[in-house]
Structure 1
Amino acid sequence: MSDHATLASQSTERVTALVRRWLAESAEHPAEVSAERLAGVLKDPNGLAFTVGFVDGVMRPEDLGVAGRNLAQVAKLTPKFLPWYLRAAIRLGGVFAPVLPWIVVPIARRVLRAMVGHLVLDATPAKLGPAIAHLRESGNRLNLNLLGEAVLGEDEADRRLKGTTEFLARDDVDYVSIKVSSVVSQLSMWSFDEAVAKVVAKLTPLYELAAQNEARGKPKFINLDMEEYRDLDLTIAVFTSLLDQPQLKGLEAGIVLQTYLPDALGAMQQLTEWATRRRADGGAPIKVRVVKGANLAMEHVDAAVHGWPVATYGTKQDSDTNYKRVLRWSMTPERTDAVKLGIAGHNLFDVADAWITAVDRGVTSRVEFEMLLGMATGQAEAVRGDVGNLLLYTPVVNPSEFDVAIAYLVRRLEENASQENFMSAVFDLASNARLFAREESRYLASLAVLEAEPAETAETAGLAPAPNRVQNRRTEWTEESFAAAMAPKDAPAPGAEHEGDESLTSVVLGIRRGSVGDGLDAFAGFDGATALDGAPAPQGSGVTPGFRNEPDTDPALAANRDWGRRILARVPESRLGVDTVAAARIDDAATLDHVVSVAAERGRAWGLLSGDERAAVLHRAGLSLAANRDRLIEVMAAETGKTIAESDPEISEAIDFAHYYAERARELDHVQGAEFVPSKVTVVTPPWNFPVAIPAGGVLAALAAGSAVVIKPAKLAQRSGAVMVEALWEAGIPRDLLVLVDLAQRDLGSRLVSHRSVDRVILTGAYETAKLFRSFRPDLPLLAETSGKNAIIVTPSADLDLAASDVVKSAFGHAGQKCSAASLVILVGSVAKSERFLRQLVDATMSLKVGWPEHATSQMGPLVEPANGKLEHALTQLGIGEEWLVEPKRLDDTGRLWSPGVRTGVAAGSYFHLTEFFGPVLGVMHAKNLDEAIRMQNAVDYGLTAGLHSLDSDEVATWLDRVEAGNLYVNRGITGAIVQRQPFGGWKRSAVGAGSKAGGPNYLFGLGDWVPQHDITSGSLHLRGLEKRVSEIIEASQSSIDFESFEVLRRSALSDQIAWTEEYATVKDVSGVGVERNLFRYRSLPVAIRIGEAATLGEGLRVIAAGVLAKSALRVSTAHDLPKGVSQLLAAKGVDITREGDAAWLARVAKKGVGASRVRLVGGNPVALALALDGTPDVAVWAHRATPSGRVELLPFLHEQAISITNHRFGNPTTITDGVI
């Protein structure tokens, strides 16, 4: 054995012996009864759920009725460990709490405070002083941390800072902790330098108070705490900037480092280098509190939602190892002269290792051991006997605000319950050899890793583990890497034969037919396999193989912040897109007709390419968009006023559209029973509010579906659209396949939309614009996402701080200029009287920094144009009974900068309730109960997005069943839909046409036509596997149609059944984010079926069978006599059947309408129907021939709905909606 190995072995033996001695001595210091009871409870299988449920469900709600109902549920989980009298009391309380909450709940809360009260101190003056004196009797010092409400605005931040200042001023307090995020609200890492300056300015008086006491010989210590990875650089910068001030040169202060971050050693080295210079310059030393980290669960949430790597180590052992790595690097006499160490933790092996290392290296006077208040007090006393007095981290909370301690308590409870954590065994280590061996082996495993690392030398002194997050927008693209990414893959061989336009398919795009690779072989979801006796395979399961969302830019990283600064510096003088817009100008009808004609020819050739071949081009387009991220952000800021925080995710969405639609394009070639017929020309008319993502989505979808595109960006966002199109041209998409136009005259716009060579129009804009387009051409195939008047309901069971935060973000992001923005918040019951909710709402709203996008500090940018019309009215006028809670103010002479406004007293049915304003003004409504709130939410003409904040499973279930909107959000904001994760599109007047959601599995289906394929035959006649309601229809039809028609009907029904079972009748979460449940489902809706004179009876029956399977409320108009049995079955289901010819039906429709929002037209004239309906956008018509494909034929009978539910509390999984959906 080497000398090094011998020394290591001796050291571990000393550590183990010291741990055993401490455990033996701890028996002489009995633990508090409450601590032992809590530990016992957490060992119960239901213990953690019971305790967290009690803390979060009974302690948190303001409404005693809510707390009482939650107590009734929690009581069912009462752990057996509790004494019988406590179990009985809790269960009895659970019975009476719902009916007598004002009596039972306060008692229950006192019981729980007693159980966890040893973990926090009571902040009331009468109790705080005696508690501090009691804890200090043994010689321990206290590090006080004031807990408070979530810091959503500057008022709460000031209140927290004031409270900490008052603590520090007390004679019995000499040590406090405070976080950067608790003294300044709504910090943005994009404005890093300004944030540092602002925090330093706010904290300087606190530090000066400490320095004044230091000078008087009464030293006061301030510890700068941190939780989130994103605050690491910020906290270090604030700390060093504070202490670099001349008046604080002699002040000793501290900072925290979390070693579950690989970045920790590098940060320690940075701080040590700075502190050494400060010390050499005559300054005081600093202290670094070394902890393992307490925000692990929320770091996982942050990473999962954004698609970033988790910032922390992946295993507990790696974190433990890094803890020792950081301490061992730091514990030298030279380094500890400038940097004193706070060694924080309860793992006795780590504490013993650190103490022995400190003794061996002669630095015991430069280390201080720290533990948490109330945790393993017996062991703490044993440790104190060797290391000297401890520093106890001591949270302080006012009993009237005890719920603000929930996040802290949940972390402590998780630590005590987790088998990975030392604390789970804290009361059993001395008596349980197995648990002791478990913890010893974990300690030895981390030591083995360290011992395998090379000893520190001059060459390795500065080396530290690499961070997990290394995204660098400055270097991810170079001219060389971009050229390589854009180069055609597998270029065609000379002289190869090509179908269609050879120039387009081979020369320009560089694609040889069949050259894309393995094609569909890699895509099991679309492999054409058969099921149910050879019936067509299920298609479009919602899963998109090969697709993953593009991560947003991570502003926690310095390189990215610098990249962002450079972009913003270019904004004032930016001219991106100007020349391209000028070149796209069209002044006359002849030029426009020529452009459309050429596009039609190109589109015909493009549509002949396979989905695989189109996918290859779209993937290149996605790479080009990614490479142009900086230019796109610049032009959006310059032209439309978007802040970088708003525009960066928009670029990610555009990139997602490219890759997602590329993969969905493959499915179009492999739909069993139907053939997709691409449109030749699709016109895309996007809005100005999402000037890159929405136009990119429309263009890329149309290209994926095999169509040429003519795009006319909104006048207020032409340059942004132009730069986006430039990126797609750079990817190899020909300019005459993707045509950018700027139309000089309004009549040219109507000519383009109504042009007979234009097969489809994709519109995103106002409902009124959709009506206008249909007035140009009543039969226009229009796929439109239109207006929204969106509300968030907040019930008394909600987390009110979280609700207020999400309401403000949803209402005022991009100055409220989102069709998905929250225009209303509906407060249910007691929430309307909640001072806390309204205070937080006002504070968060008034703290928003409004400014121009080139200023990194701007959190809310300008309006795209001066407020006028409806918006100006909303910003300046109140309705009857309304009052300003926060009055909006015009901030400059441009008319574009407005502070956000909040009005209360908005009445049901009022102008503000029902009107979309598209700006930074929020209305507050009151509802007696959830039923009334849902009626208010549904009362508007639109159904785009809707939100609910509630932690009550029954409330969530009721809301999900009854709310009328396409995108639903539970316990989160209602904006920021993400491709595939939350496909976007509304109900009612928020959608025109097929209603397929952008970024969803069916969007491409509505961008072309479908014709039947009858290429599957079978010798059997069975109806096995069909639902009874369908098999009855088919059996009743058999005698009325010929065998061939019956066979088509039967096999169509089998295809329907597969599609229904695999796709339409299931609720899916294909993204699997975990911390969110992102669900996609289909809901039946009323449909009018018209079986025209040109249809066969078999075709009509086929469509009826699909509607019956989809459980749609049907109205049937038919030119053919239905089989008697079929008519009887339909009548029994309440289906209205009318026998009439085409002319009579059209006349009736012209007079009375169709009685439904959708029509499935078979064998009729869609142009004649459009004229009869006067082109109304309120009715969507499916007029393709009936096909045997269930994947295609069920869609007209179903609404799509996306649901996004926050699936965690403080980062820990929740079961609130597990039984709901």
Structure 2
Amino acid sequence: MIAPPSSDVVAGPFGSDEIIVARALARAESLLQAALAQQTIPEKKEAAKLGRMMNDPAGKAFTFAMVDEVFRSHTPSKTAASLRRVVEQFGAPQYMPWTDRLLIQAGAFVSRFLPGLVTRGVAKRMQMDSARVILPGEAEPLHRYLTQRTQDGFRLNLNHLGEAVLGEQEAKHRLDAILDHLADPAVSYISVKISAIFSQINLVAWEDSLLTICDRLRILYREGMKRGKFVNLDMEEYRDLALTLAAFQSLLDEPEFHRYSAGIVLQAYLPDAWDAQRTLTAWAQQRVQNGGAPIKIRLVKGANLAMESVEAELHGWHAAPYASKHETDANFRRMMEYGCQPDHAAAVRLGVASHNLFDVALALTLREVNQVESSVEIEMLEGMANHQARAVRDDAKGLLLYAPAVKQDDFLSAMAYLVRRLDENTSPENFLKDMFAIRPGSPEWGYQKKRFLDGWKGRSEVSDRSRRLTVAIDASHSTRFLNEPDTDWSQPSQREELTRHSEWSPSAIPSLPILDTMLDAAVEAQTNWEGMGFEAREEVMNRLAEIMSRDRFKTLHALRIEGKKAIMDGDGEVSEAIDFARYYARHALPPAGSHSEPLGVVAVVSPWNFPYAIPAGGVIAALMAGNSVVLKPAPTTVGLAWHLANQFWEAGVPRDVLHFYPCANEQGKAFLTDERIHAIVLTGSYETAKLFHGWRPSLPLYAETSGKNALVVTAHADREQAIKDLVRSAFGHSGQKCSAASLAILEGEVYDDEGFRRQLQDAARSLAVGPTSHWQNGVTPFVIPTTDKLHRALTTLDEGETWLVEPQQLAAPNLWSPGIKFGVRPGSWFHQTECFGPVLGLMRAENLDDAIVMQNGTDYGLTAGIHSLNQEEIRYWKERVQAGNLYINRPITGAIVQRQPFGGWKKSCVGPGAKAGGPNYVWLFRRFADPSHFSGASEVDYEQAWREHFSVEQDPSELRCESNVFRYRPSRGVVLRLAQRDLKTVERARLAAQVTRVPLEISIREEESDEAFAKRLPELAKRAEFLRTTDAPAGVILRVAFDAGLQWIHGPLLSAGRIELTRWVREQSVSQTLHRYGQLPSKS
């Protein structure tokens, strides 16, 4: 690679800036006049309609919905219902002629009776309307169209659209389709993205991805070279920029392609594009000097701005594009000017792609004054403002049109392109917005002229520094909590840092401490730790966050080597641990006026599947609450836990306050049943929680346990997005996440859709499976040997089941490829059993109600998801599904602190139910009581707490692209067990029940014996969730209550409503993707 030369922006050699600008302005006016003079009557009507759309936000929203939502279902009655819903919501667009508005209203009405007829007619009209911008992908009609356009004096750059490339089979089909196009004599020029021919791009495994991409591009280049066709590398996402550049240069450096001329696109809205252009130019000049062929750069402004903003917001990065349209325009003109300089154009031909007539005129002027007409061409979009295209063709002596093509069967797959085009047309600052009404001397002309001059002037001032090199969020110094940004693997410095730390090995771990000595020390140290106060402990946790951030790459390799976790999965875990430190530090202080004290010594029993973040969260919360902690790691990840403990000690946690106790399982019982342990934090199976409870029923146990998590896909879903999210949810970390999708409940037409099954099968089979020593692998070995349940799931089919994808045991220890079972029946073993591995079961539901019954029909309630673009379905589902974490139109894994506090319902939780990463979690580790002067219900503030907090849905993260609502749901009921009738307690209980609308049952030991009450508990558990006690209950009550599924909460009923009412409700996180292709919903 040749470094970019130092080069300032200079005017063309044959004219000053003033002369160039004057000529460009005159030429732009001439182009517009020529275009208007030859505009046909149909084109005028279309332009007028599009012009009216600019001022019709409801009409624009209607059009988006028609394009993206209405035809998701393949059932005419459902499609017709979607049509009526869109018409009812937005009305017939005012920008349309009255005849079209009448047809829309009439069609909506008639669709109740003739759904098939109406929906076929609407679909045909939509395809006719889009035929101007999306060509037919079938061979014969495409050939005829290209031939005709060539006769009209246009060349076409063909871009083959199709199904989303979710797997390698579709990637091969896309490659074959492009090869077929290259064999067509009418095709001279094609564009292709690297993501279209390789479905498993992994920026962490950079070299592996580059090798595969080059192998596939080599096939295209050979075919293009053999047939004399031009191949252009396209791109949309910033993440693909450097990889695309590397593949392009690497291949053209091969002797085989020394004389082959190929092209690449650069997006001017990326500051990085300016350096890329100069680097490519220097490299191409050397190539030409050595006898090689010139290359071509297709210069565009960029059409993926909305999705870049979404990606950046979700990860805590700066959006890669410039922050303003002015900067983009300035960079575009800087790059255009640079490309038109004779010594550059001799090695790098330039394609200036724009519908802005000022930019077109500037390009024509620059190429003319620099005498590089043969090296600079103008490009536009097929079907957009054809009258202007003809005028530009005539002036430029030719025009290249970017032309997407799609086969009729894949028309839905072109929706993303149509949405982007609609957005581009109507963006407030875009030339296209004014293009349909602009006239020389009009206000629109004056506005666009000023923008052009400002952009030209700003070309020497606009920054060329990559926005991703600047830290977007400094979470450590923010006055409010902000999530730690994830690693941006598109940056070489981050990949280099990862490589530098790749030789991690665990430190020597000292011998097991003597239990009595350790616990005595913990008890004694706790008082001083609590005495430090919350602010001092907060400082310690903030230092811990900085240490965790500093050690990120070392920890990633510890997770990879000992935790068998892919780098991408591990990166999120490190961010989560850092978030826990900062979040709990800010959310530890109890409410003003409350009275509390620490529990004492807390045992944190960590899991093997999240061996860093989960123990970190438990330890941090208990420490922030003023407790001493004993960390008991999972036997398979002791080295990781020791690494974590050392980070705590380095941050300033005294060693007598945090103890490390990696005991064997047989020693665990003596440890956990010791009276000096005052609470246990467990993340593990429900069976483990039951075991611990049986050892010591009176010990508070806070456990996040099992889940049998399902994702519902309705007929109104974006099926390709659902597959992408389903595969990520089911097979990330080899399905070893508590939140992993184990079931996909598909509405009938989705279940029966052969295309859906084929794409799902392809996506699952294409996942990279192997050891973590190869960084491209996403499905990695199990941390522990397969359990009996998992082995059965991987090897056995029950009645009615078949393998859509049969899992295979591979050579590495504990390594299996993903499996998908088809035909899982309600109530079957697989429907009811958590297996904790890479096995997904598909179930068929008749409708949404049926799907909800199946989704709720297990003993667990951890995570649940739905994919649907029908907002009525989403609202209906949200109010009926029984799970702690709900996910809508996104994966159901990857909970983030504060955004999606994590924890389940039913058997997925043991204890009061405060969610990890949520506002109430730290308070679990303090014992609350009323100050002595409080008495009577008159002093409680339950109603105010309910009104101001518990009845309000909160979204503290306030993302634009995703809502993350934290809300409280009234529990099914509370059973209050008292030793004797305490009027104050009874009065408070009844008031709390009234305020929260929770059924209340009171039992008094003086009136009902422990045995009689215990006998009634299984029946009570059918209509209640919590067992409240104020006096130590009998062991039989605790054992029966646990087995019945009642969550036990011990302590007085408090006067502070902000604390007390948490024990009457269930917490729920609802995360919903709000955007479509980056576009946010209309507020019209």
Q: TM-score, normalised by structure 2?
A: 0.95
How far apart, CA to CA, are the structure 1 residues paired with 2:27 and 2:344? 26
| Contact 1:992 1:1177 (C-alpha < 8 Å) held by counterparts | no
Match of 1:45 in 2: 57
Match of 1:1205 in 2: 1072
Match of 1:1189 in 2: 1056
Give the Å deviation of 1:361.
2.1
Give the Å deviation of 1:260.
0.3
How far apart, CA to CA, are the structure 1 residues paired with 2:112 and 2:926? 56
Specify which of 626, 633, 643 is matched with residue 713 of structure 1: 633
Give the Å deviation of 1:362.
2.2
Match of 1:136 in 2: 150
Secondary structure at 1:640 match in 2: coil
1:341-380 deviations in whole A, cap 9, x for unaligned?
A: 0100111111112222222222222101100001111112
- Within 5 A, what are the aligned runs for 1:152-167? 152-167=166-181
Match of 1:575 in 2: 505
Q: 1:776 to 1:557 in 2, by over 3 A?
A: same
| Contact 1:639 1:717 (C-alpha < 8 Å) held by counterparts | yes
Specify which of 210, 217, 234 is matched with residue 203 of structure 1: 217
Match of 1:1013 in 2: 931
Match of 2:596 in 1: 676
% identical aligned pairs: 41
Q: 1:980 to 1:89 in 2, by over 3 A?
A: same
| Contact 2:35 2:391 (C-alpha < 8 Å) held by counterparts | yes
Q: 1:855 to 1:1162 in 2, by over 3 A?
A: closer
Specify which of 840, 856, 864 is matched with residue 775 of structure 2: 856
| Contact 2:976 2:1000 (C-alpha < 8 Å) held by counterparts | no
Give the Å deviation of 1:84.
2.5
**Amino acid corresponding to residue 495 of structure 2 in structure 1:** R
Specify which of 59, 62, 68 is matched with residue 56 of structure 1: 68
How far apart, CA to CA, are the structure 2 residues paired with 1:1013 and 1:679? 17
Please say which of residues 719-728 and 37-46 is displaced more in the overlay: 37-46
Secondary structure at 2:467 match in 1: coil
- Within 5 A, what are the aligned runs for 1:290-439? 290-430=299-439, 433-439=442-448
Secondary structure at 1:119 match in 2: coil
| Contact 1:47 1:78 (C-alpha < 8 Å) held by counterparts | yes
Match of 2:134 in 1: 120
1:923 matched to 2:841? The reply is yes
| Contact 2:566 2:772 (C-alpha < 8 Å) held by counterparts | yes
Give the Å deviation of 1:1107.
2.0
1:151-206 deviations in whole A, cap 9, x for unaligned?
A: 00011111111111111111111100000000000211011111111011112121
| Contact 1:1014 1:1188 (C-alpha < 8 Å) held by counterparts | no
Q: 1:676 to 1:192 in 2, by over 3 A?
A: same
Question: Which entry has the higher C-alpha Rg, 1 or 2?
Answer: 1
**Amino acid corresponding to residue 908 of structure 1 in structure 2:** P
Match of 2:673 in 1: 754
Q: 1:147 to 1:1095 in 2, by over 3 A?
A: same
Match of 1:1122 in 2: none
- Within 5 A, what are the aligned runs for 1:525-564? 546-564=480-498
Please say which of residues 988-997 and 99-108 is displaced more in the overlay: 99-108
Give the Å deviation of 1:725.
1.1
**Amino acid corresponding to residue 841 of structure 2 in structure 1:** G
Q: 1:415 to 1:1174 in 2, by over 3 A?
A: closer
Q: 1:914 to 1:1168 in 2, by over 3 A?
A: closer
| Contact 2:988 2:1053 (C-alpha < 8 Å) held by counterparts | yes
1:194-225 deviations in whole A, cap 9, x for unaligned?
A: 11110111121211111112xxxxx3101100
Please say which of residues 866-875 and 1073-1082 is displaced more in the overlay: 866-875
Please say which of residues 43-52 and 303-312 is displaced more in the overlay: 43-52
1:1059-1105 deviations in whole A, cap 9, x for unaligned?
A: 21221101111101111111111000133343634674123212321
1:1155 matched to 2:1020? The reply is yes
Unaligned regions of 5+ residues in structure 1, if any?
A: 214-218, 454-463, 478-484, 486-521, 523-543, 1016-1043, 1119-1139
Give the Å deviation of 1:1169.
7.2
Unaligned regions of 5+ residues in structure 2, if any?
A: 1-9
1:661 matched to 2:581? The reply is no
Match of 1:957 in 2: 875
1:695 matched to 2:618? The reply is no
How far apart, CA to CA, are the structure 1 residues paired with 2:1039 and 2:160? 69
Pairwise CA RMSD of aligned residues? Answer: 2.3
| Contact 1:673 1:1014 (C-alpha < 8 Å) held by counterparts | no
Q: 1:874 to 1:471 in 2, by over 3 A?
A: farther
How far apart, CA to CA, are the structure 2 residues paired with 1:106 and 1:617? 65
- Within 5 A, what are the aligned runs for 1:85-100? 85-100=99-114
1:420-468 deviations in whole A, cap 9, x for unaligned?
A: 1110111211167111111111112222323568xxxxxxxxxx71100
Match of 2:191 in 1: 177
- Within 5 A, what are the aligned runs for 1:1101-1180? 1101-1118=987-1004, 1141=1006, 1144=1009, 1147-1150=1012-1015, 1152-1153=1017-1018, 1155-1156=1020-1021, 1157-1159=1024-1026, 1161=1028, 1163-1166=1030-1033, 1171=1038, 1173=1040, 1176=1043, 1178-1180=1045-1047
Secondary structure at 1:1209 match in 2: coil
How far apart, CA to CA, are the structure 2 residues paired with 1:1011 and 1:1168? 24
How far apart, CA to CA, are the structure 2 residues paired with 1:1187 and 1:432? 74
**Amino acid corresponding to residue 969 of structure 1 in structure 2:** Y
Give the Å deviation of 1:88.
1.4
Give the Å deviation of 1:1178.
2.4
- Within 5 A, what are the aligned runs for 1:1081-1096? 1081-1090=967-976, 1092-1093=978-979, 1096=982
**Amino acid corresponding to residue 934 of structure 1 in structure 2:** I
Specify which of 53, 71, 82 is matched with residue 96 of structure 2: 82
Give the Å deviation of 1:829.
1.8
1:474-499 deviations in whole A, cap 9, x for unaligned?
A: xx99xxxxxxx9xxxxxxxxxxxxxx
Please say which of residues 356-365 and 625-634 is displaced more in the overlay: 356-365
| Contact 2:862 2:903 (C-alpha < 8 Å) held by counterparts | yes
Match of 1:518 in 2: none
Give the Å deviation of 1:615.
0.8
How far apart, CA to CA, are the structure 1 residues paired with 2:583 and 2:540? 12
Secondary structure at 2:21 match in 1: helix
**Amino acid corresponding to residue 469 of structure 1 in structure 2:** R
Secondary structure at 2:745 match in 1: strand
Q: 1:829 to 1:679 in 2, by over 3 A?
A: same
Please say which of residues 1074-1083 and 430-439 is displaced more in the overlay: 430-439
Match of 1:1003 in 2: 921
**Amino acid corresponding to residue 730 of structure 1 in structure 2:** E
1:636-656 deviations in whole A, cap 9, x for unaligned?
A: 111121110111110000000
How far apart, CA to CA, are the structure 2 residues paired with 1:452 and 1:562? 31
**Amino acid corresponding to residue 959 of structure 1 in structure 2:** W
Q: 1:363 to 1:654 in 2, by over 3 A?
A: same
Secondary structure at 2:883 match in 1: coil
| Contact 1:262 1:465 (C-alpha < 8 Å) held by counterparts | yes
Specify which of 592, 601, 610 is matched with residue 515 of structure 2: 592
| Contact 1:778 1:1170 (C-alpha < 8 Å) held by counterparts | no
**Amino acid corresponding to residue 288 of structure 2 in structure 1:** R
Please say which of residues 683-692 and 672-681 is displaced more in the overlay: 672-681
Match of 2:647 in 1: 727
Paired residues, what number?
Answer: 1065
Secondary structure at 1:1212 match in 2: coil
Give the Å deviation of 1:912.
0.6
How far apart, CA to CA, are the structure 2 residues paired with 1:177 and 1:29? 30
Match of 2:756 in 1: 837
| Contact 2:770 2:812 (C-alpha < 8 Å) held by counterparts | no
| Contact 1:626 1:655 (C-alpha < 8 Å) held by counterparts | yes
Give the Å deviation of 1:564.
2.3
Please say which of residues 772-781 and 747-756 is displaced more in the overlay: 747-756
How far apart, CA to CA, are the structure 2 residues paired with 1:157 and 1:236? 20
How far apart, CA to CA, are the structure 2 residues paired with 1:101 and 1:11? 59
| Contact 1:1147 1:1172 (C-alpha < 8 Å) held by counterparts | no
| Contact 1:472 1:560 (C-alpha < 8 Å) held by counterparts | no
Please say which of residues 392-401 and 981-990 is displaced more in the overlay: 392-401
**Amino acid corresponding to residue 251 of structure 2 in structure 1:** L
Give the Å deviation of 1:7.
4.0
1:888 matched to 2:807? The reply is yes
Secondary structure at 1:1109 match in 2: helix
Q: TM-score, normalised by structure 1?
A: 0.85
Match of 2:692 in 1: 773
Give the Å deviation of 1:1198.
0.3
**Amino acid corresponding to residue 940 of structure 1 in structure 2:** T
Give the Å deviation of 1:1170.
5.1
